[in-house]
């Protein structure tokens, strides 16, 4: 992966009309199951319906094509708790996020480890990875990243420590 300051030709240079930009490549991931254990009580709950969500992923830097991931997932209904829940897809993205975990991780790395300002990180993500993330969103991720990252994934416990070390973890 190229460093943040490295020169790379921009495949979209000279393009003036949005429709001439390289087309987004869409790949489909499936997280559909017939039955899933309820996260509250463990009851094996049947699928109620199928849903989909779109996530922006890191694009292809060679072709300049952005990449979206469409996740097809099952929603289940627990007859004990009388609650709906979705099939687990936390390996792909956090709940409610419009970006894959890979995008969030890279954005955090650019800011926390490479020390890029938020606006530069926004530009680097677009220039090098063809994914547009508003810098305010990156800022939210960095400020929330410590606690969330630790709670969601214990294999990366150093994030909050790193943020504190760099003085980035402030409200």
Instruction: Enumerate binding residues for Zn ion (CB under 5 A).
Output: 38, 40-41, 43, 78, 80-81
Per-residue CA distances from 26 to 10, 14, 70, 137, 140 (Å)? 21, 25, 7, 23, 26
Q: Which is nearer to Zn ion, 52 or 82 (CB)?
A: 82
Q: Which is nearer to Zn ion, 82 or 170 (CB)?
A: 82
Q: Which is nearer to Zn ion, 40 or 119 (CB)?
A: 40
How many Å apart are CA 138 and CA 122, to the nearest integer? Answer: 8
What's the min distance (Å) between Cβ of 89 and Zn ion?
Answer: 19
- The total of other beta-carbon atoms located within 10 Å of residue 169's CB is 18
- Half-sphere exposure (Cβ direction) of 135: Cα atoms closer than 13 Å: 11
What's the min distance (Å) between Cβ of 94 and Zn ion?
Answer: 22
What's the min distance (Å) between Cβ of 143 and Zn ion?
Answer: 33
* DSSP per-residue codes, 37-51: E-TTT--EEEEEEEE
Residue among 3, 1, 8 at smallest CA distance from 127: 8
Q: Which is nearer to Zn ion, 23 or 80 (CB)?
A: 80
What's the min distance (Å) between Cβ of 30 and Zn ion?
Answer: 24
- Half-sphere exposure (Cβ direction) of 7: Cα atoms closer than 13 Å: 1
What's the min distance (Å) between Cβ of 81 and Zn ion?
Answer: 3
Q: Which is nearer to Zn ion, 77 or 135 (CB)?
A: 77
């Amino acid at each position: 992966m190229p460093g943040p300051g490295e020169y790379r030709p921009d495949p979209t240079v000279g393009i003036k009309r949005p429709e001439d930009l390289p087309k987004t490549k869409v790949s489909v991931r499936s997280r559909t199951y017939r039955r899933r254990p309820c996260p509250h009580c463990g009851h094996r709950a049947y699928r109620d319906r199928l849903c989909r969500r779109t996530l922006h992923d890191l694009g292809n830097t060679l072709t300049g094509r952005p990449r979206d991931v469409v996740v097809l997932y099952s929603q289940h209904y627990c007859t004990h708790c009388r609650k709906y829940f979705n099939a687990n897809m936390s390996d792909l993205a956090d709940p409610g996020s419009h970006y894959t975990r890979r995008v969030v991780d890279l954005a955090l790395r650019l800011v926390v480890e490479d020390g890029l300002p938020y606006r530069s990180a926004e530009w680097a993500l677009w220039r090098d990875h063809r994914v547009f993330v508003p810098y305010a969103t990156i800022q939210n991720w960095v400020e929330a990243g410590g606690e969330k990252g630790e709670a969601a994934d214990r294999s990366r416990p150093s994030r909050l420590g790193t943020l504190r070390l760099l003085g980035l973890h402030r409200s």
